[in-house]
Amino acid sequence: MDLNTMSREELAAELAKQRARFERYKAQELRLDMTRGKPGPDQLKLSEPMLEYGMVEGGISDSGIDCRNYGQVAGLPEARAFMGELLGVKGDNVICGNNSSLNMMYDTVCTFMLHGVSERPEDRPWFEDKARKFICPVPGYDRHFAITEQLGFQLIPVELRPDGPDMDEIEKIVRSDSSVKGMWSVPKYQNPTGYVYSDECIRRLAKMECAAADFRIFWDDAYTVHFLNEEPAEQLNLIDACVAAGHPERAIIFGSTSKITFPGAGIAALAAGDETIKFLLSRISKQTIGPDKLNQLRHVRFLKDKAGVVAHMKLHAEIIKPKFDAVEEVFEAEFGSPNETVLDWTRPEGGYFICCRTQNGLAAATLALCNECGVKFTLAGSTHPYRKDPTDSYIRLAPTFPELEQIRAAVEIFCICVKIVLIERLLARCEG
Amino acid sequence: MDLNTMSREELAAELAKQRARFERYKAQELRLDMTRGKPGPDQLKLSEPMLEYGMVEGGISDSGIDCRNYGQVAGLPEARAFMGELLGVKGDNVICGNNSSLNMMYDTVCTFMLHGVSERPEDRPWFEDKARKFICPVPGYDRHFAITEQLGFQLIPVELRPDGPDMDEIEKIVRSDSSVKGMWSVPKYQNPTGYVYSDECIRRLAKMECAAADFRIFWDDAYTVHFLNEEPAEQLNLIDACVAAGHPERAIIFGSTSKITFPGAGIAALAAGDETIKFLLSRISKQTIGPDKLNQLRHVRFLKDKAGVVAHMKLHAEIIKPKFDAVEEVFEAEFGSPNETVLDWTRPEGGYFICCRTQNGLAAATLALCNECGVKFTLAGSTHPYRKDPTDSYIRLAPTFPELEQIRAAVEIFCICVKIVLIERLLARCEG
């Protein structure tokens, strides 16, 4: 069934059919929420044993540190080593913080705003550059864009492709404009596409020439071990690539256990080059006497190491893979395969999202219609800087939190709405 | 025994006597550390039951919030109400964060640096005022001063007296200079003096005329329930006083359970006027998806309410009051009562510190001598902006962490060193 090749009469009949399906769902008065990438209750249960008293009893870490008391501004050494293994660096190059990697990104941008990227006098505070800009691969993560928007950066969208952002475009932008201070990236199982940056893309990011010596890549490796199938995708480490390219301080990698243990009570970390770690610690040591080391101790004792994490992530995959499969099944039943004329969608191997594209100009109308039927998706536009998708076509689906039956219903309603809105456009064209 | 009225011969004899005591201690090769205000292991043990699984099992708060998952950027409602009761405001006027109130102070200053104190265009970012200044009551807390020093404020010392800072001086400073953006305060059981600001002082702070409309008082109520005797001192609430004086947004109160439960794993909060809370939340909502609510849940279930906290603090007082008493006993045995000619010291009713004053110019030499004998105290000068005490006389003692016998030894060595350094000065004067 290709809506685009149907006659006017066939379209009218199809519209009537989809309208009828819509009304049947509407009558059910569903309240379905597919807006945010949250683990479901079954996933949260997997980490309950981490909360047992025995995990922290006595409060002393294996290295002899009293985790209950003050100190260890860079985090518990065991937690730094643990997060370092996840992020692909030595523990010495890790700062392990509290429960939010977003918070560590925000604080790092604020530090660069107020002090510049190092102690060196030529690294001026970013605040002083009124034309400061930040590169935002699109579609991307709304909370990244919001940080740099709030801090007064001009956000420059660059198209994201299945193997990473358009590198020709990025190289051109950073080569000529010293006000381009950095870029956001989710390099593996990207939010919202699930794309994995290629090693070639990573090498180009590491070695490209930047007009701004203080250009920094904010590398949010949020989904580094969040695979859906056999094991996590292998990927070149950006810091290694930057060191090899002679730019050892260019990259700052962020990660957390938010979607490994608990989104609200995980541990977060950043990894960076020697100089940047030293510089950030000189700032953080004025900000706090240290992170919550008891929670770090709990995590290290529960997850142990990367192998322990991967084993734990298999349990997550067992719960959420069927949810991703359910979306795919409904999509295939409704549309066959992804296509640019009706609905395109990604088929991620990991992460928390599926990214769909309607025909240009139909995303907002489609979601408004879903909303009428009791199904909420992430607001159209939220994948783009300033919450404005100029193509009005990108839609992010977050299938992890609702139960399987709810997901099937929500996605079916979504498909119905995609069809209705598209057919109405096609019919209006006939009228016109 | 008044060293200042002794003859040269008497002084020489006394010096020999104290030197002999010093050498006896030195031979013991002690390693005593009285530098930081940390609870001791016995105190940490008091909160061990908070770590039991039953405190957080299932992860759902009484108000039905899943504390394991994302959300609640202002903190768990129960935790906001709890910290509000401690800080003397409604829960709506509280933002409850992670484990460090210092971190919340730092972030608040950074927010004002980058955005100003409100959304209003006339409230310019503090960063833009190159002559920005901050009032620092002295002696005071080194970590406060360090924040505003790092952020480029000129630090203005104002003398702290037993009933609060010199208000005539403060009123004069803030009336004339719109670059004076704020002041630090520890209003109850102050660090390091133990002084309690009087209600009259608080009323004057609330109503004084400030050239800077965006002048803000950072009120670190770190020791609000940390009494040593019967119960916490009563004190006028600064926000109430500010509201009454027509300056509802002037004060931001900070507090935590760091020295109630665990310094490394407590919960922190700030309290402020309606507008400031709303403004700060608009910033924090870009910084994080929410604080560690599981730890907030643990705290609320363990401590329950202010009455629960006060009962818990009595257990702390039973442990640390004997340590403060030991210092007092040694001081009395060595010096009689506090006096300005040999050694002055405070007799706090709460908090974590005792503040001593040697004769001017002798503090650093006294501590260097203590160090020779294996006893470390907080560096001379650290009670003052830029770590420089122009009188070289203030010394902070932190008697909570070491064991009782260690404290007696450390303080006795301190007294011996005070005497040696003073006698040497008096004898040098005779020579001169």
- Indicate if the alpha-carbon torsion angle B84, B89, B95, B99 is positive or negative: negative
Which amino acid appears at position A103 of this protein? N
What residue spans of A222-378 are helical by DSSP H? Answer: 238-244, 274-287, 293-303, 306-335, 363-372
Asked whether the beta carbons of residue B295 and residue A265 sit closer than 8 angstroms, the reply is yes
Locus of tokens 């960063």:
B127
Asked whether the beta carbons of residue B44 and residue A68 sit closer than 8 angstroms, the reply is yes
Shortest Cα distance, chain A CAs vs residue B9, angstroms: 49
Does residue A50 sit within a domain? Answer: no
B123 with B88, same domain: the answer is yes
A323 with A303, same domain: the answer is no
| The model's pTM | 0.97
Residues in B 2-21 with any Cβ partner in A closer than 8 A: none
Neighboring chain B residues of A56 at a CB cutoff of 8 Å: 51
A295 with A333, same domain: the answer is no
B165 with B286, same domain: the answer is yes
Asked whether the beta carbons of residue B68 and residue A143 sit closer than 8 angstroms, the reply is no
Measured from the Cβ of residue B62, the count of other Cβ atoms closer than 10 Å reads 11
What residues make up the domain containing B302? 48-309
Mutate one of A36, A72, A98 to test the B interface: name it (highest B CB count within 10 A). A98
B256 with B326, same domain: the answer is no
The string of pLDDT tens digits covering residues A372-424 is: 999 999 888 999 999 999 999 999 999 999 999 999 999 999 999 999 999 99
**A245–B contact, CB cutoff 8 A:** no
Cα separation, A367 vs A377, whole angstroms: 7
Asked whether the beta carbons of residue A143 and residue B70 sit closer than 8 angstroms, the reply is no
Measured from the Cβ of residue A55, the count of other Cβ atoms closer than 10 Å reads 18
Asked whether the beta carbons of residue B70 and residue A263 sit closer than 8 angstroms, the reply is yes
A272 with A151, same domain: the answer is yes
Residue of B nearest to A37 (CA): B70
Is residue A135 within 8 Å of A158, Cβ to Cβ?
yes
Shortest Cα distance, chain B CAs vs residue A151, angstroms: 8
Q: Average of pLDDT values for B264-291? A: 98
Residues in B 255-274 with any Cβ partner in A closer than 8 A: 258, 262-265
Residues in A 116-145 with any Cβ partner in B closer than 8 A: 125, 127, 143
Neighboring chain B residues of A98 at a CB cutoff of 8 Å: 98-99, 291-292
A261 with A377, same domain: the answer is no
pLDDT band at B230 (very low <50, low <70, confident <90, very high): confident
A107 with A10, same domain: the answer is no
Cα separation, B168 vs B166, whole angstroms: 6
Is residue B259 within 8 Å of B220, Cβ to Cβ?
no
Residues in B 35-64 with any Cβ partner in A closer than 8 A: 36, 38-39, 41, 44, 47-48, 51-53, 56-57, 59
Which amino acid appears at position A258 of this protein? S
Cα separation, B236 vs B133, whole angstroms: 27
Neighboring chain B residues of A288 at a CB cutoff of 8 Å: 100, 102-103, 106
Which of A270, A289, A309 is the last residue before a domain boundary? Answer: A309
Shortest Cα distance, chain A CAs vs residue B7, angstroms: 48
Does residue A35 sit within a domain? Answer: yes
Closest C-alpha among B357, B355, B354 to residue B344: B357
Closest C-alpha among B372, B412, B414, B423 to residue B395: B414
Neighboring chain B residues of A293 at a CB cutoff of 8 Å: 264-265
Which of B309, B328, B348 is the last residue before a domain boundary? Answer: B309
Asked whether the beta carbons of residue A38 and residue B110 sit closer than 8 angstroms, the reply is no
Does residue A89 sit within a domain? Answer: yes
Asked whether the beta carbons of residue A69 and residue B288 sit closer than 8 angstroms, the reply is no
Can you spell out the DSSP letters for B349-377?
SBSS-EEEE-STT-HHHHHHHHHHTTEEE
Tell me the two tokens of residue A65.
């540190």
Asked whether the beta carbons of residue B110 and residue A106 sit closer than 8 angstroms, the reply is no
Cα separation, A390 vs A371, whole angstroms: 21
Asked whether the beta carbons of residue A68 and residue B263 sit closer than 8 angstroms, the reply is yes
Which amino acid appears at position A112 of this protein? F
The structural domain count of chain B equals 2
A81 with A125, same domain: the answer is yes
> Domain holding A79: CATH number?
3.40.640.10
Which of B309, B328, B362 is the last residue before a domain boundary? Answer: B309
Cα separation, B113 vs B125, whole angstroms: 5
Task: Let me know the angle formed at the C-alpha of B149 by B146 and B151, rounded to the nearest 5 degrees.
Answer: 110
Asked whether the beta carbons of residue B264 and residue A290 sit closer than 8 angstroms, the reply is yes
Cα separation, A279 vs A240, whole angstroms: 20
Please name the member of B47, B114, B294 whose beta carbon is closest to the beta carbon of A262: B294
Tell me the two tokens of residue A203.
């090498």
Is residue A374 within 8 Å of A30, Cβ to Cβ?
yes
> In which order are the strands placed within the sheet that holds A94-96?
A94-96, A268-272, A251-256, A216-220, A180-185, A133-138, A154-161, A164-165
For residue B368, what are the CA distances in angstroms to A355, B85, B352, B414, B417?
66, 44, 23, 10, 9
Residue of A nearest to B143 (CA): A286
Cα separation, A117 vs A107, whole angstroms: 12
Please name the member of A71, A100, A151 whose beta carbon is closest to the beta carbon of B288: A100
Asked whether the beta carbons of residue A292 and residue B151 sit closer than 8 angstroms, the reply is no
Does residue A207 sit within a domain? Answer: yes
A108 with A204, same domain: the answer is yes
Cα separation, A58 vs A53, whole angstroms: 9
Neighboring chain B residues of A283 at a CB cutoff of 8 Å: 150
Measured from the Cβ of residue A309, the count of other Cβ atoms closer than 10 Å reads 22
Cα separation, B34 vs B46, whole angstroms: 22
Asked whether the beta carbons of residue A38 and residue B98 sit closer than 8 angstroms, the reply is no
Does residue A49 sit within a domain? Answer: no
Contacts of B16 by beta carbon, 8 Å cutoff, 6+ apart: none
B96 with B18, same domain: the answer is no
ipTM of the complex: 0.96
Asked whether the beta carbons of residue A289 and residue B44 sit closer than 8 angstroms, the reply is no
Provide the greatest CA pair distance for chain B: 78
Neighboring chain A residues of B291 at a CB cutoff of 8 Å: 98-99, 264
Pairing between strand A251-256 and A216-220? parallel
Asked whether the beta carbons of residue B265 and residue A143 sit closer than 8 angstroms, the reply is no
Shortest Cα distance, chain A CAs vs residue B421, angstroms: 33
For residue A145, what are the CA distances in angstroms to A186, B224, B263?
12, 40, 34
Neighboring chain B residues of A52 at a CB cutoff of 8 Å: 53
Is residue A424 within 8 Å of A12, Cβ to Cβ?
no
Residue A326: per-residue pLDDT: 98
Residue A432: per-residue pLDDT: 67
Residues in A 151-170 with any Cβ partner in B closer than 8 A: 151
pLDDT at residue B197 greater than cutoff 80: yes
A82 with A192, same domain: the answer is yes
Spell out the per-residue pLDDT of chain A, length 432, in tens. Answer: 688 889 999 999 999 999 999 999 999 999 999 998 999 999 999 999 999 999 999 999 999 999 999 999 999 999 999 999 999 999 999 999 999 999 999 999 999 999 999 999 999 999 999 999 999 999 999 999 999 999 999 999 999 999 999 999 999 999 999 999 999 999 999 999 999 999 999 999 999 999 999 999 999 999 999 999 988 999 999 999 999 999 999 999 999 999 999 999 999 999 999 999 999 999 999 999 999 999 999 999 999 999 999 999 999 999 999 999 999 999 999 999 999 999 999 999 999 999 999 999 999 999 999 999 999 998 889 999 999 999 999 999 999 999 999 999 999 999 999 999 999 999 998 876
Please name the member of A127, A293, A295 whose beta carbon is closest to the beta carbon of B114: A127
Q: Average of pLDDT values for B223-239? A: 95
What residue spans of B28-161 are helical by DSSP H? Answer: 41-45, 77-87, 101-115, 142-150
The string of pLDDT tens digits covering residues B133-158 is: 999 999 999 999 999 999 999 999 99
Does residue A380 sit within a domain? Answer: yes
Rounded percentage of chain B residues whose pLDDT exceeds 70: 100
Asked whether the beta carbons of residue A102 and residue B287 sit closer than 8 angstroms, the reply is yes
pLDDT band at B207 (very low <50, low <70, confident <90, very high): very high
Contacts of A54 by beta carbon, 8 Å cutoff, 6+ apart: none
Can you count the helices (H) and strands (E) in chain A?
13, 13
Measured from the Cβ of residue B207, the count of other Cβ atoms closer than 10 Å reads 15
> Domain holding A415: CATH number?
3.90.1150.10
